[in-house]
A and B are shown apart, each in its own frame.
Chain A
Amino acid sequence: MKACLSFSDILEVGQPRITEMERIGNSFPNGDSAEACTAFTHQVGVVEGTVMHTYSIAATLARKADDINEVAEVWKRMSQFCQSALEVLLRLKDKYLFCGTPQLYDLVLDYKLAADKRMRGAIEEAQCRTKDFPKELLPELS
C-alpha cells in the first residue's frame, strides 16, 4: 500500500476531536454534575492523546524534511493546532475546573511552546545560512 498522508491530512484528522470537546463542553449547563464531568473528562483524554500523537508526527516529519523552510512550516502548523485547542480549553477550563481541563491546558501550552521553539530554531537556521561562515570550520558532508 503506497497511499501517503500529508501533515495537513493529519491535522484535519485531529481538528474534529477539538471541535467535539467543545461541543460536549457546551452541551451541559455547567460542569458540576458527575455526568458532565465524566463526559468532558473523556474528551480531555481524547484531545490529550491527539495533541501528543500529532506532535510526534510533526517531529518525524521535521526530521525527514529536505528543506529548512519546510521544517519551520511543520512546527508552525503544529503550534497553530495547539493554539486552536488552547482557545477551546480557555473557554471551558473554569467550567470544568475539576475534570482535568486545567492540566490539559498546561500540557497543550507546553507542546505549543516546544513547537514554537523548534519553529524559531528552523527560521534562525535558514537566516544564518546566508551569513559568512568559514568553510573549514565544519566537516564537508556529501
Chain B
Amino acid sequence: MPDEGLPEGIVTRTELAELAGLFDQFEFAFDPFSLSAREAESRFDDLTRALFDNKVALAFPGVDYALFYCRVRFACRIYLRKNSPS
C-alpha cells in the first residue's frame, strides 16, 4: 500500500478509500445517469454527511459541511490518482 506509514486522519484511510471508490463510480461514470452512478453519488453524500456529523462538527466547529465536502472530493481525486492501476 503506497500510503502505509503516513499519518492517519480523523477520517481514516479506510474511510477515504471507500469514499474514493464511490466518487470514482459517479464522477467519472461514462453514463452519468446510470442507476449505479446515481446510487454511488447518494451513498457518497450520505457517508460524507455521517462522517461530518459524527466526527467533525463538534470537534472542529470552524469547519462547515460545504468546506468538508469539498475537501473530501479533492482528497478522493488524489487518492484515485495515487492508487490507480497503471
**A interface residues, Cβ below 8 angstroms from B:** 52, 55-56, 59-60, 62-64, 66, 68, 71, 110-111, 114, 118, 121, 124-125, 127-129, 131-134, 136-142
Residues on B with beta carbons closer than 8 Å to the beta carbon of A114: 32-33
| Residues of the A chain whose Cβ atoms lie less than 8 Å from the Cβ of B33 | 110, 114
Count the B residues whose beta carbon is within 8 Å of the partner chain — how many? 39
A139-B6, A141-B3, A142-B3 known; A60 vs B28 contact (CB < 8 Å): yes
Which residues on the B side are within 8 Å of A59 (C-beta)?
A: 27-30, 32
Residues 56-86 of chain B: 1 if any A CB is under 8 Å from the residue's CB, otherwise 0?
1000101100111011111101111110100
Contact A62 B8 (CB under 8 A): no
Partner of A129, one of B30, B66, B74, B82: B74
Contact between chains at B56 and A66 (CB < 8 Å) = no
